[in-house]
Amino acid sequence: MKLTLIKPNFGIDMPNSNGNTKYVDEGRMEPLQLGVLAGLTPEDVEVKFYDDRCENIPFDEETDLVAITVETFTAKRAYDISKKYKKRNVQVILGGMHPSLIPEESKLFADSILIGDAENIWIEIINDAKKRKLKPVYFSKPGVPQLGTFTRRDIFKNKGYLPVSLLQFSRGCSYSCNYCAVQTYFNQKYYTRKISEVINEIELQNKKVLFFVDDNIVANHSYAKELFKALIPLNINWFSQGSIDMTNDYELMKLMKESGCLGNVIGFESITEKGLKSLNKNVNLHSFSKYKKELEILKDYGLQNWAAFTLGHDAETLDSIDKTLEFALSNKFCFAAFNILTPYPKTELFQRLQNQKRLLYDGKWWLHPDYRLNYAAFIPKRMTADELTEKCFEIRKKWSGIPSIIKRFFNIKTNLMNFRTAYIFLRYNYLFRKEIIKKN
């Protein structure tokens, strides 16, 4: 049997003169979820993997089962890919966050969908596919990641990914931010992998810079401390995503630094109390003094930070967006993401905007032919949707401009702490500058 794994690109298939898709993501990372699926697949199954972000998909190549991972932003393209295979009578199964959130839509575009995590049911799916008897729907509850299974990384070779190895310690988050699809799917539950298996997987691959894709690696401080203790002897460097309340635990911060952490993606989301309340970002409300104490602690431990902001909530104004940029610049963050608030299906935010008739693009923005990545998909309260989109484009350009990069580079406690942190800052700010311009 032959299995084809596919990571879709954004949007629809729009070839350029070279035959490649119009947008090629130069900042792409390994799609970990497909490496996990490959690791779960029995050895008697031949596995092929294609990344639509950087290569053409050979639709005429013989295969028995196509498995496509679907995010809301890639749903339109994923469905397009599925249709092309189904025309050839190839079995197609869709999985990932989007089919789990909105299965009634996804099942219209494939032979089968997987709702939930694949670990406990993937062998059953493979066996059914061998007999060409896929069930319309497979359901598996969220749980411990990769129990007894390692990521298969050979499928990632020669695809031009960033030199960072992705892996996971946990899934889910215990907080209840109303815009977050993660807490909707995991129902505010948090699952951790066996630390011994994480360590074994790190030792089996040869990269020394790692990115833990965990939604919140410090959601449970006790578990995180045990992980960090186990990482110390490995002499690695790593990044992840974590909530700002990590700074309340000095033992946690000490162990994080000693284990090789270089920084984290931190969801600041808003710099105002009204904004945080609008987003139900309660974990940040205790830090309403614009995170002054927390930011000093992060700098004292020499951690570079990728600050994530969510713009367009009901308390937002055009002026507050400008002040968010000023806040990010004044704190000389290594990186920052200025994201437009996005109503993901089945979230509390989506339901509220739908009830208030404030959703654009007929509600299903991810399928609408006029919707584009990074556009506002709803009607904000204090500005128009176009004003929100244009303002976010504007501040992204300012953030990634040369004057901003030079100013932010001169942060002795973080970006200039040593050669490695300086290199990371310069290399990836240059790369992300290119990507921001292209995506806009």
Tell me which of 177-191, 217-231, 354-368 is least confident: 177-191
70-121: pLDDT as tens digits: 999 999 999 999 999 999 999 999 999 999 999 999 999 999 999 999 999 9
* pLDDT band per the 50, 70, 90 thresholds, residue 66: very high
pLDDT, residue 22, reads: 60
- Span 149-156, average pLDDT: 95
pLDDT, residue 361, reads: 96
Question: pTM here?
Answer: 0.93
The two beta strands, 209-212 and 165-167, are parallel
* pLDDT band per the 50, 70, 90 thresholds, residue 17: very low
- Span 350-357, average pLDDT: 97
Tell me which of 26-30, 51-55, 70-74 is least confident: 26-30
Average of per-residue pLDDT values in the chain: 93
- Whether 15 has a pLDDT exceeding 60, the answer reads no
- Span 356-362, average pLDDT: 97
- Whether 435 has a pLDDT exceeding 90, the answer reads no
- Span 44-65, average pLDDT: 96
* pLDDT band per the 50, 70, 90 thresholds, residue 350: very high
- Position 85: which residue type? Y
Residues ≥6 apart with Cβ < 8 Å to 157: none
Is residue 125 within 8 A of residue 114, CB to CB? The reply is: yes
Q: Which residues pair with 337 in a beta bridge?
A: 308
Q: Rounded to the nearest 5°, which phi and psi values hold at 300?
A: -60, -30
Nearest to 406 by CA among 292, 329, 296: 329
Tell me which of 13-22, 278-287, 377-386 is least confident: 13-22
291-348: pLDDT as tens digits: 999 999 999 999 998 999 999 999 999 999 999 999 999 999 999 999 999 999 999 9
Q: Rounded distance, CA 201 to CA 322, Å?
A: 43
Is residue 283 within 8 A of residue 188, CB to CB? The reply is: no
Domains of the chain (ranges; CATH) run: 2-140 (3.40.50.280), 163-439 (3.80.30.20)
- Whether 188 has a pLDDT exceeding 90, the answer reads no
218 C-beta neighbours (distance < 10 Å), count: 25
- Whether 21 has a pLDDT exceeding 70, the answer reads no
Stated as kind and residue range, the H or E segment containing 349 is helix 348-355
Q: Rounded distance, CA 94 to CA 371, Å?
A: 22
Q: What share of the chain is helix, strand, coil (3-state, %, to 5)?
A: 40, 15, 40
pLDDT, residue 436, reads: 81
Tell me which of 131-135, 178-182, 255-259, 330-334 is least confident: 178-182
Tell me which of 22-26, 145-149, 217-221 is least confident: 22-26
- Whether 206 has a pLDDT exceeding 90, the answer reads no
Tokens read off for 437: 């311009």
pLDDT, residue 287, reads: 57
Torsion of CA 417, 420, 422, 425, to 10 degrees: -120
109-144: pLDDT as tens digits: 999 999 999 999 999 999 999 999 999 999 998 889
